[in-house]
Amino acid sequence: MVYAGAGIITIGIPLLYWFWHSRKNRNAKAKLDQAVALGLDQPVSLHPRIDPNLCIGSGACVQACPESDVLGLVDNRGVLIHATQCVGHGLCQAACPVQAITLVFGTQKRGVDIPHLKGNFETNVQGIYIAGELGGMGLISNAVRQGTEAAHFIAQSLDQRSGNGVLDLAIIGAGPAGIAASLQAQIEGLKFMTFEQEELGGAIVTYPRRKMVMASPLELPGYGKVRLREIPKESLLELFQDVFTKTGLSVSAKNKVEDVSRHQDHFKLTARQGEYYARRVLLAIGRRGSPRKLDVPGELSPKVAYRVIEPEKFAGLKILVVGGGDSAVEAALALSEQPKTTVHLSYRQEKIFRIKEANRRRLEASLSAGRITPILPSEVLRIEPERVLLAHLGKEMDLPIDYIFIFAGGELPSQFLQKIGIEFTRKFGEA
């Protein structure tokens, strides 16, 4: 009996583990096939590339990743599953016991333009630095870290402080990277100014209300550690406001910097509210400098917008939302929750597929409840004062509307950056 029991344990436990492991592999393979079918297998920025020849299938990367179903084991090898949801934490790389993971930008199918940066975040233009999303780092904690480090390197590069109305540092952008850089610049004793074309918070301000923002624990210079995970944008903006209140920082809001040029031994910044001079410039702006236009007749109408900040203001109106990404879906959902609001959703494809799973579930519920009416596939042909003309299933469709919100993506502020002289490289799955 003792030998029989020992035999059962010896054979049974490994057998149970094998069944359990095989089931996880099958589930991951099914999720990967679904992600490929839905177009969710192409990462948008920094992401892990796993070498199958080095991977030993330990699953450490899967366990380390804080996002659901971004990584999985298929055929006992780590793979990216829902790649579009990867935000470049880098925790998977740190957890891999055999160094099989490299963090890279772009894929063979989709290239990503990344600026040339030195180890101290300086660009090819001496004296101009980049931190945060523009440099390819999308996660808030990464942006904060880069903004902090860049401001420190800038302070080290200055042998003495500026005078005669010239700033030591001009920080362009008051998002996470810009705020962190401002705090560090304050600690370093720099004479600096932070510019923002919108309000404190940068692009986060433009998110729809109650949009959940991905984050992770971070430390803001002079403020302290902040434990975050997934929080509403309002809470994050409240945090930033508290930071400014307690540290005494200020930002020149609604003051877009339109040009940066070399002026003697420093830079001249031309902004909406005047001209400024600085010895160093830190670009902490987002990759989406301006919303992409449809370029159709009537798009200059005051009833056309490219973001939804306060959906309650559109209660009781007829709305058309154009787009098939997360931003479009989140805007349509927020608007559909307003009383007596009619919301139509237009997208050029037959299905909306490149969105987060949580948004997919919410959208399906809204469609089933009749709160959102899809017009798929369709394209906007012309926008008139009280209607929009769409191409839908080979016919022209006349849709009465009060407002139209367009989410066709954003465009890299290429013209602004090229004028400054910033050089970029398009990377296809490269570190």
What whole-number percentage of the chain has pLDDT above 90? 42
Is the pLDDT at 1 greater than 60? The verdict is no
H/E stretch holding 182: helix 176-187
DSSP structural state of residue 238: H
Is the pLDDT at 22 greater than 90? The verdict is no
Q: How far is CA 283 from the centre of its chain?
A: 16
Q: Which neighbouring-strand residues pair with 399?
A: 388
Confidence (pLDDT) at 387: 95
E strand map for 53-176: 71-74, 77-80, 101-104, 112-115, 128-130, 167-172
Position with higher pLDDT, 224 vs 216: 224
| N residues, the chain | 431
Is the pLDDT at 401 greater than 90? The verdict is yes
Phi–psi pair at 145, nearest 5 degrees? -60, -45
Q: How far is CA 264 from the centre of its chain?
A: 36
Residue pair 348/362 in contact (Cβ under 8 Å)? The answer is: no
Confidence (pLDDT) at 202: 63
Please state the pTM of the whole predicted model: 0.69
Position with higher pLDDT, 346 vs 105: 346
Phi–psi pair at 379, nearest 5 degrees? -140, 145
Query: SS3 for 404?
Result: strand
Q: Please state at what angle helix 176-187 crosses helix 233-247, rounded to 10 degrees.
A: 20
Quick: pLDDT tens for 166-203. 999 999 998 889 999 999 999 999 999 999 987 776 66
**First-to-last C-alpha distance (Å) of the chain:** 59
Is the pLDDT at 212 greater than 60? The verdict is no
Average pLDDT score over the chain: 85
What is the average pLDDT across 411-416? 77
CATH numbers and ranges of domains, the chain: 2-104 (3.30.70.20), 113-289+413-427 (3.50.50.60), 291-410 (3.50.50.60)
Confidence (pLDDT) at 117: 87
How would you label 342-377 residue by residue, b for 16+ Cβ within 10 Å and e otherwise?
Answer: bbbbbbeeeebbbbbeebbebbeebbeeebbbbbee
